[in-house]
Structure 1
């Protein structure tokens, strides 16, 4: 979601830095970039050296992102809804997958007016493990009754999105620029294509 179909306008990195500083851990920008796309609770477990402070940092992060969403900082990517409409017109089911917990995910969808729009929305807590593990992709495929991995398309703005697709056996993994990772970073992991933004997706998959 964030970075691919949703514009977080810098609120996520700011929330991570605020959370880390709240427990006395200096932000490490390179490490933070590497972890983008992962489940947020797991991210703080990797960034903070002890479990109690990691949990406290995660809770502060959730508070910061909730504040940003409610303030209107988080918006839809221009053209995202139009892309959803074109996909639906061709009978393509839509699953929105995120590394955010349900609390943030559902708030974002509510604020954007997207509640009930997608066929499925999933967070790591819905399946047990998040990206870069393949579980979210497999769960979406099962719940939407995909006929196989070749009938699935994964589009995302982070290396962990593409790694999850690769590990799930999905050949059609498309990197989307304009989010967390740049073109050089996305090209370091297996992918079928790199596009400049979500509005290029219909052309990338040859929709009429």
Structure 2
């Protein structure tokens, strides 16, 4: 079945951010009093690395006791990330914009999705000049609150653009959580990309149907 919708991740897949997601998490931990010499620091950073791609507030709910603490940590993350975006540390990955435009020009809808809050997501898109580039942009808050690896954002993307079936959906991301979200949604094509620092073996182990060097290779794969 032809691909009618491509659901693409942001950081690590279409956007390179020079490690600022990790730096924003470090900023949030420091604001919460968890410094590198704190015994909680190592297990917390391990959990952050293992859940990269998940909703950020979900990560903080796991790390800290109580909703109030999780929200404070999330606010600190957003603050740190916004400062780094404003400092120019984010850029579109080579070929990403062209891939989105090529897909849309061929009649394939494109929805960008992310584990960021809508505020952080919109700041990032504005910094890139990407407002209006995709058919829609989604955060977990736009899909009932559950982020990856749940399928909710992929299924919401289908509803937004009127995709005819899950078999006609392609999901692309750079983390195992991106891959699992696509598989959980039943997407016909689930691809990993190597631009986020995860290896091909890890993405295939998560269940990726294909592993691409970058999202720039997606139009050719969809064409096949």
Q: Which of the five TM-score ranges fits, normalised by the shorter chain? A: over 0.9
Match of 1:24 in 2: 33
Aligned to 2:3: none
Per-residue deviation at 1:137? 0.4
- 1:144 equivalent to 2:161? Answer yes
1:58 aligned partner: 74
CA contact (8 A) 1:171 1:191 kept: no
Say if 1:33 and 1:181, in contact at 8 Å, map to a contact too: no
Which one scores higher on RCO, CA 8 angstroms, separation ≥ 6?
Answer: 2
> Number of aligned pairs?
207
The alpha-carbon deviation at position 81 of structure 1 amounts to: 1.0
Distance in 1 separating the partners of 2:105 and 2:178: 25
Structure 1 distance, partners of 2:26, 2:201, is 24
Between the aligned partners of 2:49 and 2:203, the Cα distance in structure 1 is 12
Q: Give RMSD over aligned pairs.
A: 1.4
Residue 198 of structure 1 corresponds to 215
Are 1:106 and 2:116 counterparts? Answer: no
- Specify which of 8, 19, 41 is matched with residue 57 of structure 2: 41
1:75-154 to 2 correspondences below 5 Å: 75-128=91-144, 129-154=146-171
Match of 1:9 in 2: 18
Would the aligned equivalents of 1:4 and 1:178 in 2 still touch at CA under 8 Å? yes
Residue pair 2:171, 2:182 contacting (<8 A) in 1 also: yes
Displacement, 1:182?
A: 2.3
Structure 1: runs of 5+ lacking an equivalent: none
TM-score of the aligned structures, taking structure 2 as reference length: 0.88
When structure 1 is superposed on structure 2, of 127-136 and 53-62 the one drifting more is 53-62
Following superposition, the deviation at residue 180 of structure 1 comes to 4.8
Residues 1:68 and 2:84 aligned together: yes
Q: In the TM superposition, what is the alpha-carbon distance from 1:76 to its structure 2 partner?
A: 0.7
2:223 alignment partner, SS class: coil
Runs of 4+ in structure 1 displaced over 4 angstroms? Answer: none
